Structures are given as C-alpha cells and as structure tokens.
Amino acid sequence: MSTPEPQGPEPTEEELQAAWDEQLRHITVADVLIQTAVSLVNLAGRRLGLGPGGAEERDLAQVRDAIDAVRALTPVLERSDAPETLKPLRDAISQLQLEYAKLAPGAASPPAAAAGGPQDPGTGAGQAPPSSRLWVPGR
C-alpha cells in the first residue's frame, strides 16, 4: 500500500481567510437560501422515512419544521428567481406535505377538542368533520 504524496504546505490562516473572502464576493443571499431550502427538503424526506434508514429515521416534528421553513423562504426566493426556476422546489414541498398528511395523526383535520370536546369512541361525538383542504404545517 502506498502513502499519498505530500500536497505541499497547509494554507495559512490568512490564505484561508482570503479564499473565504473571495467566495463571499461571488455568492448571493439567494444562492444560500436556495441551497438551504434544498437541504431542508432533502432532510425532510429522510425524516419522513423515505431515505435508506426508513421508518427508523422518521421524525414528523422535524418534517413539519422543514416544510414551514421552506415555505417561509419561498416568498424571498420569488423576488430573485423566476417562478419557473422554483417549480421543482414547490413540487417537492407539495409531495412532502402530502406524505406528512398521510403519516401525521390529525394532520388533515383539526383536533377533536377544537371541534367540540373529547371524542366518544362509541358514537364519534366531538369528532372533527373531514376537511376538504389539505392541512399545511404552520397555517
């Protein structure tokens, strides 16, 4: 087994700072926001259990927070990007919302207490009527 050849001296702190400053000159806030939104979408997919870890990685509270965060970023992104460039992001959020609604108990309708008190399992009294609208986290 061979050892890797030395790459040269490690960069100094000043060189690292200069490289960082150069990157900051070219990056935009919109670049960071879109990367953040994409990262949140990917993480939400994993937390739904859609990644290699399956249901073991499921955490619906994190999914809800990720959906809310991307939805909060969307109006800001719309100011700097054309709507058609954000379509894949919107589609991904829609899919996450649908999957979340399937998995989260009570996500598609208000809690029973909000609909008139505790539910009687025998009669269904106090049960919330089915919602015709998709529940969206943060609304």
What is the structure's pLDDT at 18?
Answer: 92
What is the structure's pLDDT at 116?
Answer: 39
What is the structure's pLDDT at 6?
Answer: 63
* Residue entry with tokens 């087994």: 1
What is the structure's pLDDT at 2?
Answer: 62
Q: Which domain holds residue 99?
A: 23-105
Amino acid symbol at 121 = P
**Is residue 10, in this structure, part of any structural domain at all?**
no
CA–CA dist 48, 46 (Å, integer) = 5
CA 70 to each of CA 14, 41, 132: distance values in angstroms, whole numbers, following the listed order? 36, 8, 24
Structural domain tally of the chain? 1
What is the structure's pLDDT at 63?
Answer: 96
**Is residue 91, in this structure, part of any structural domain at all?**
yes
**Is residue 7, in this structure, part of any structural domain at all?**
no
What is the structure's pLDDT at 115?
Answer: 36
**Is residue 114, in this structure, part of any structural domain at all?**
no
Question: Euclidean distance between the first and final Cα of the chain, in Å?
Answer: 59
CA–CA dist 40, 28 (Å, integer) = 19
CA 63 to chain centre: 6
Q: Which residues of the chain have pLDDT under 70?
A: 1-6, 81, 106-139
| Residue 68: partners with Cβ closer than 8 Å, 6 or more residues away | 137, 138
**Is residue 82, in this structure, part of any structural domain at all?**
yes
Vertex 48, ends 99 and 90: CA angle to 5°? 55
**Is residue 42, in this structure, part of any structural domain at all?**
yes
For the chain, strand residue ranges (E) read none
